[in-house]
Chains A and B, each alone.
Chain A
Amino acid sequence: MRRLVWPAAVLVLLLALNVFFTPSFLSIQVRDGHLYGSLIDILRFGAPLILVAIGMTLVIATGGIDLSVGSVVAISGALACLQISQDAGLFTAVALALGLCLLLGAWNGFLVAGIGIQPIIATLILMVAGRGLAQLITGGQIITVNSPAYKMIGGGYWLTVPFGIVIVAVVLAVTAFLTRRLALGMLIESVGGNAEASRLAGIRSRGIIVMVYAFAALCAGVAGLMISSNVSSADGNNAGLWIELDAILAVVIGGTSLAGGRFSLAGTVLGALIIQTLTTTIYSIGVPPETTLLFKALVVAAVCLIQSPSFREKVFHRRRRAVAPAPATDEKVRVTT
């Protein structure tokens, strides 16, 4: 729980900043039977990122990383929109798209667990080739679809709640149940700690690694459906561009170490919300759009620095030293760690 304190504090700070600039920021109202409000918007627009980040958390927990999710987002949206534009049913389109994503994820997992390629390279292959694949599916065009049923996935409402938020809540609940109530989470963390030792202890390390990559791709696929459905079109070139970086950031901000071995789903959701709130904040407090990235870089740097134990130690150390000189050995110890 303690490691959630910093991300939570940053999120509260960002929200407070918003309330300061727009006092009505926190208000949520029901209009035409739909929930409206800035907070709902953050959740709604942040839904794809949260989904991708949930999948990424499990991958990172095994000590891996998945750079290909952005391309998978594009492929999933492209295939679904292509199917629907060719008069396929909604179910067929969604099933085909998600099936392909599972396959792509399993491919990533096979490269990592089966052949033993470093995760960052293994998924770099699909990141580069997948973007080309998505453009191949759309033929380099932007496919627009006109299907109210498909529009529902990313833009619809269910009992006043935006449907995307419902999907995220369901995925989050299922993932949390599987990993925290069953042994799966522990197995994943054990594989992340030491895959070989886990295998010797009787855990099917390879199976678990393939599974987490497939799951990450599936999450990315659903996110891709949401993104393309929200705008009723598929853009193989730009859909999900750089979402993998945002997702990795969300996971790291949420306190999951890139080294693997432990993970925090709640932290990841907090991290994704911070990133989405940041985007909203930028618009609401009137930072010029040109400096958006600059602002983001500064916040990211600040959050990462605050979370780094050695940064806190150094800053804290310096203040303490002003009062009483610290033991001189401390400096040497830190160099060797």
Chain B
Amino acid sequence: MSTLTLGRGRVPAKYLPVLVTGCLFVAMFAAGGIRYEGFASGQVVLNVFIDNAFLLVVAIGLTFVILTGGIDLSVGSVVALSTMIAAALMEGPGWPPYLVIPLVLAVGSGLGLVMGYVVHAFDIQPFIVTLAGMFLARGLCYTIGTDSIPIADPAFTVFAQTRIDLFADLWISPSVVIAVVVVLVAAYVLHYTRFGRTVYAAGGNEQSALLMGLPVGRTKIAVYTISGFCSALGGLLLSFYMLSGYGLHAVGMELDAIAAVVIGGTLLTGGSGFLLGTVLGVLVLGLIQTIISFEGTLLSWWTKIFIGMLLFVFIVLQRLFSGGSRR
């Protein structure tokens, strides 16, 4: 903490939350490395990426929405719906993956588009609109089928089992590559394009953005579409990971994603935050799970209690560092 207070003079305040999360990650990793044998290896970090690639993609989509001051509760259900559509189409009528994948992405984006349109055009709170979207997507899952559908498609299984070897016995899965590409593209769009600046402007102060002549409505619709697309992509990654489609996949994942974005230092009121923060947030969540599995005797509910405590500590730190200027 003291180092951060020292750093305050040099680091612009807007980078502080991300820095705090970064330090937290390093500290947790160091603590784990001291406490458990075999923890302090590069593969442990890569495994966090491998196990959470889908969460990372979803959280990135959600970051766009939250930056505009909105929220998307439907992401978990859209992930489940994507696994379900993919599995059902490939197992039932035997559609090839090159048709299924674009369709799944289109369905996710379409749902996001509709929700974004309703939020923008009818002035209904995003919380409620995406809640209805969450019920709708989950309901569609059960309408397709109530059982888990295994995926036996060769392309999917190959994708699931491929290991991409890096140097020195380290390896990642193709999902990680996709997630990293999504991170890079999203970071470029958010920080270096006109659209990205509009997202921040709309979240910072919608009235001002409108008065500046920025296309706020179009941007709002676009961010929900992006979130829907990312959820569908996350769903595809999850179906690579699980090799099944199931209506109960990713239950409560919207909370994990929101927690990751918040831990990453993005304000829920919008207008402030970084994609890198979200990436770190996902990594922190993943590392907690890894630590709990290394601990072995700890039971699963401690994960929830830890995440809750961590959220608390982190948000209080954020409040302290961002000072009284923002409320």
Contact = CB atoms under 8 A, between A and B. Distances in A.
B259 interface: yes
Interface string A288-320: 001111111110110011001111001000000
Interface in B106-163: 118, 121-125, 127-129, 131-136, 138-140, 142-143, 145-146
Contact of A121 (B128, B134, B315): B315
Contacts of A249: 128, 131
Given A290-B146, A293-B138, A336 B210 contact: yes
Contact of A296 (B118, B135, B269): B135
Contacts of B166: none
Given A117-B315, A125-B315, A290-B142, A305 B123 contact: no
A22 interface: no
A125 B138 contact: no
B181 interface: no
Interface stretch (A88-96, A127-135, A147-155): A127-135
Given A124-B258, A128-B307, A309-B123, A118 B142 contact: no
Most chain A CB within a 10 A radius of its CB, from B255, B308, B311:
B308
A337 B132 CA distance: 24
A248 interface: yes
A59 to B, nearest CB: 14
B255 A128 contact: yes
B311 A301 contact: no
B311 A125 contact: yes
B37 to A, nearest CB: 27
A293 B308 CA distance: 29
A116 B322 CA distance: 12
A132 B308 contact: yes
A245 B131 contact: yes
Interface centre among A65, A115, A125, A248 (most CB of B within 10 A): A125
B146 A129 contact: no
A301 B132 contact: yes
A contact residues, range: 35 or more
Contacts of A258: 125, 127-128
A295 B241 CA distance: 31
A311 B255 CA distance: 30
Residue among B118, B131, B258 facing the most chain A CB atoms (10 A cut-off): B131
A294 B136 contact: yes
A318 B136 CA distance: 27
Nearest to A196: B327
A140 interface: yes
B99 to A, nearest CB: 25
A300 B311 contact: no
Contact of A124 (B132, B142, B143, B255): B255
Interface in A105-122: 111, 115-118, 120-122
Contacts of A130: 308
Interface in B259-275: 259, 262, 268-269
A118 B268 contact: yes
A292 B101 CA distance: 27
Given A116-B327, A121-B311, A296-B135, A304 B305 contact: no
A301 B303 contact: no
Contacts of B299: 135, 140
A217 interface: no
Contact of B143 (A133, A291, A300, A310): A291
A131 B307 CA distance: 11
A248 B131 contact: yes
Contacts of B303: 132
Nearest to B127: A258
A252 interface: yes
Nearest to B211: A336
Nearest to A337: B123
Contacts of A132: 301-305, 308
Interface in B50-65: none
B312 interface: yes
B121 A310 contact: yes
A196 to B, nearest CB: 9
Interface in B291-316: 299-305, 307-309, 311-312, 315-316
Contact of B268 (A120, A125, A259, A292): A120
Contacts of B309: 129
B259 A136 contact: no
Contact of A129 (B129, B134, B304, B315): B304
Contact of A126 (B142, B269, B308, B319): B308
B143 A294 contact: yes
Given A115-B319, A129-B305, A297 B128 contact: no
A335 interface: yes
A287 to B, nearest CB: 11
B140 A335 contact: no
A310 B122 contact: yes
B97 interface: no
A296 B133 CA distance: 11
B273 to A, nearest CB: 13
A249 to B, nearest CB: 7
Contacts of B131: 245, 248-249, 300
B308 A129 contact: yes
Given A121-B311, A290-B146, A314-B122, A296 B139 contact: yes
B217 interface: yes
Given A300-B132, A304-B129, A314-B122, A133 B139 contact: no
A335 B308 contact: no
Given A131-B304, A297-B133, 5 more contacts: A115-B316, A121-B262, A127-B255, A296-B139, A305-B118
14 contacts: A121-B262, A124-B311, A128-B311, A131-B301, A132-B301, A249-B128, A258-B128, A291-B139, A291-B142, A294-B140, A295-B139, A296-B135, A308-B122, A310-B122
